[in-house]
Amino acid sequence: MRGSCLCGQVEYEVTQLDSPIRHCSCRTCRKAHAAAFNTSAGVQREHFKWRKGTEVLKSFESSPGKRRYFCGNCGSQLVAQRNGSEMFILRVATLDDDPGQRPEAQIWASDEVPWLEHGPQIPSYPEWTPQHK
């Protein structure tokens, strides 16, 4: 599977996911991704390879011992890693290919935003709303 950032300057390849896919609603993930939750999965270092763009990667220590890596040009969060870990925490939404798995859990539900609504009660459109111009 291949993945990339928004601007395409950083690309990576993953041969397999090594943990279930999970949605995380913790405050740190919400702030880092500017979203109601982040979707991630673990990938062992041996199953992950940067294909291009490592020179533009930046990182931020979002909590003690945990670094989040992102494109220094467009800001897309790509992976995180804890000190001493051989596991990357992959931001699944940056995959360009279908991982063939679906999320199995939501973590930090206690931090979920109260305004998050999803399901059949929310109208769904294939692209923009009909009123969008």
Backbone angles phi, psi at 110, to 5 degrees: -65, -20
CB 43 within 8 A of CB 2: no
pTM of the model: 0.88
**What total number of domains does the chain contain?**
1
On whether residue 118 sits in a domain, the answer given is no
Mean pLDDT of the chain: 94
* CATH number of the domain within which 72 lies: 2.170.150.70
Domain that holds residue 51: 2-111
Q: Do the beta carbons of residue 12 and residue 50 sit within 8 Å? A: yes
Tell me the per-residue pLDDT of 54-72, one tens digit each, with 9 for 90 and over: 999 999 999 999 999 999 9
